[in-house]
Structure 1
Amino acid sequence: MRTRADRCPGVWRPWPAEDGLLVRLRLVGGRITRTELAALVAVAEEYGDGRVHLTGRANLQLRGLPGRDGAVAPEAVAALQATGLLPVPTHELVRNIMVDPRAEVLWPVADELDRLLCADERLADLPGRFLFVLDLPDRECDLGLVALDATTAQLRVGGGWGEVVPLADGAAEIVALANAFLDRRTTEWHVAELPEPLAEPRTPDPRMPDPLPPIEPGDRHVAAPDGIDRALLGRLPDGGLVVTPWRGVLVP
């Protein structure tokens, strides 16, 4: 039994660190444009420690932000909103959708999952630590799937496997399971903590691919273990970028 609510940080629920307030911005599958990233670096320079930090869930954090009484200063919040990276404030804490950057077939599934998640008012009550993962079968998650081929996927449910479903139905199936989790939870943060399985456990499909290794640093994968500042931003081209779970930025 959990004895407290999760404190996973967001813009409207910052974490009080020693150097100021810390906020996290969720990216669906890590995708961001250089224009959006540049705007966020500018916010970090004006209000924070000058860097945009990367997380192991392929999200972004800003540190050292001003505020009082546990809230970020209104002018800093307005600057963060102006970046366009907070499209649905009510669901900012639960848009935790990781995607293997190499699995382009899953981008439409990720977008549909995000749309369905944010369209369901009830799902804003998911814990901030709740994690959706598409591909990356070696990563722990609450709910997700792994593509078996271009049209089929197997669901992931807690620490196990679920049904094999059409890939086009994957997002809807995951959202249905997320609602079932809310039906059953009391204080649990994760599917695996429920006293009974959320779905009938299945064995991995024979077509299950082996996990791919992490993407190594290189010309297309710019490592950023210490975050992104103005100098590192200058190395990134215009257009779409992908923040990876390995604390780097991939140039597609």
Structure 2
Amino acid sequence: MEIRQRADACPGVFATHDAADGALARVRLPGGRVTAAQLRELASCAEDLGDGELHLTSRGNLQLRGLDRDDPRLARRLADAGLLPRFSHERVRNYLASPVPEVDDLVAALDQAVCAEPELAALPGRFLFAIDSGRGDVAGERADVTWCDGAFLIDGTDTGVRVERSRAVAALVTAALAFVASRGDAWRLRESAAAREAVLAAVRPLGTVVEPVEPPRSGPPPVDGRVVAPWFGCLSGARARVLAALVPGVVVTPWRSIVLPSAHPSLAEAGFFVDPATPGVALSACIGSPGCAKSHADVRADASRVAATLPVSLRAHFSGCERRCGRPRSDHVDVVATAGGYLVDGQGFSSVDEWREGRE
């Protein structure tokens, strides 16, 4: 069990993180849902107050970088756009959800219920809820508590508890309240056996108990014109406005892609990935240097340089240091910059070019 020796420092809008390129703010999007009007305001905030980009995260949220931490305008503008419904709960609104309309009502109800519980303002910023339609897309992301088409999961594992859809939100909120009351110093349920037992005891009366089974695991949907992705999950203000002009709203996924209500293959002309056969589509990377002082390399530049020579299907994540920020849950090649070069799945290379040449 991991013992936390420091306070939870997950960034938010009011508690920003100081990076080498300025302050970083994370904007929580319930289930990744964001309207066209909100997307336009986020784009304007990024351009007026930050580095001009909206950075997609591995939890289906957005980050703004290059901010002035003492500038109060961001919070005011996001509140006016409806993106901060309850200031006290701003950092705990961490919800993954299948990017399908069938769970939109559950996502909205969960957000409302969480924000209505004063005790849940004490949730750690790492605690993660998930609602899976049964497709198995977000069930594999190891959220602390997941409702997966009736099955109640803890850390991605079926508990055997079955909860009807009408009680799904109640089960998730009850679980979170039990975690707050029993967590001690733990940030995640996986860190405390006592908290896990307390959560199970609280949720069992809301459903029935059966033999646990392996949950479905479908993984992320591929880009196909309805699912699109910006390079390295960086959405410029201009590209955000292109999306906002096409559709009433989008879903930002935890795989740094964006789901639209219908297919728009022409978005390739705006710089989006729309075809799974495009070089670089399966690559991801942390911000790297110069944005992060801890990074040993400009990993995005290195990844871009070798992208065209790698197999299109090769899923790889480039990290600037051993923290591996933003790495995907799914299987991938682990490319980590070090002071002396790169480690690729633990094997040392002087550069990514040497690794690439070894593959040819």
Q: TM-score, normalised by structure 2?
A: 0.63
Query: Who is 2:81 aligned against?
Result: 83
2:71 to 70, 73, 98: 73
> Deviation per CA, 1:144-173, whole angstroms, max 9, x where unpaired?
1111xxxxx011123532310111101101
Aligned to 1:212: 218
Q: Which runs of 5+ in 2 are unaligned?
A: 133-137, 202-208, 262-360
What's 2:185 paired with? 187
Aligned to 1:222: 228
The alignment's C-alpha RMSD in Å is 1.8
Query: Within 5 Å, which residues of 2 pair with 1:1-252?
Result: 1-67=3-69, 72-102=70-100, 104-135=101-132, 136-147=138-149, 153-162=150-159, 163-196=161-194, 197-198=196-197, 199=200, 203-205=211-213, 208=215, 210-224=216-230, 225-236=232-243, 237-252=246-261
| Higher percent of residues as helix | 2
Letter aligned with residue 191 of structure 2: E
Identity %: 37
More relative contact order, 1 or 2 (CA 8 Å, 6+ apart): 1
Structure 1 gap segments, 5+ residues each:
148-152
> Secondary structure of 2:235's partner?
coil
1: CA distance, partners of 2:253 / 2:45 = 21
Q: Cα distance, 1:202 vs. partner?
A: 6.5
SS in 2 for 1:134: strand
Letter of the 1:232 partner, please give it: R
2:46 and 2:54 in contact (8 A); partners too: yes
Conserved 8 A contact 1:66-1:76: no
Q: Report how many aligned residue pairs link the two structures.
A: 240
> What does residue 206 of structure 2 align with?
none
Q: Once the two structures are superposed, what CA deviation does each residue of 1:83-128 show, in whole Å capped at 9, x if it has no partner?
A: 32111111010000100113x3322222221111100000000000
Query: Structure 1 segments of 4 or more deviating over 4 A?
Result: 200-203
Map Cα deviations across residues 39-80 of structure 1 (whole Å, 9 max, x no partner). Answer: 11101101100011110110010000013xxxx412333233
Report which of the two structures shows the higher radius of gyration computed on alpha carbons. 2
